[in-house]
Amino acid sequence: MARTAIGSRVDKLYKLVEEKRLQSKKLKGVEERIRELESEIRTMLKKDKLEGAVGTTAQVKTGVKHIPIVDDWKKVQAFIIRNKAFSILQKRLSSTAIEEMVEHRRKPIPGIGYLAVDTMSITKRAQKKKAPTNARKARSK
């Protein structure tokens, strides 16, 4: 493929990445406004001792969701092993922790393989410096 074809695609990719960055910035503002409105609505519902409210186009309901958190990992690990309850864990490895452990042990961890994932980064090119222009122009005769 010609270099210009690759170069033009690189430029298009950069333009799209920048567009996404700008859209993300706008989205963060929208997300902040959503959090503010949710907080205002929760406050109003609590004040009026309500569990929900209705508008002309939407409705909200509040409730409580109980999310498990670990208070004592040793007890949880013992429970998992004793009851073969591995299903309560998420099957995901921590790449950072594994890298650190392998580096510390200086040998691989048994049972762990690696998946090669293609990556690509894109950054804006530095602008070429323009040649200085003379303040005085040559006079034509």
Which domain covers residue 15, as residue numbers? 3-105
- Decide if 110 is inside a domain: no
Mean pLDDT of the chain: 87
- Decide if 115 is inside a domain: no
- Decide if 31 is inside a domain: yes
Residues 54 and 126: their CA atoms lie apart, in Å, by 54
Is residue 141 over pLDDT 50? no
Six-digit token string for 53: 């409210």
Residues 18 and 29: their CA atoms lie apart, in Å, by 17
- Decide if 86 is inside a domain: yes
- Which pTM was predicted? 0.57
Residues 57 and 126: their CA atoms lie apart, in Å, by 50
Structurally, how many domains does the chain consist of?
Answer: 1
Residues 62 and 51: their CA atoms lie apart, in Å, by 5
- Decide if 18 is inside a domain: yes
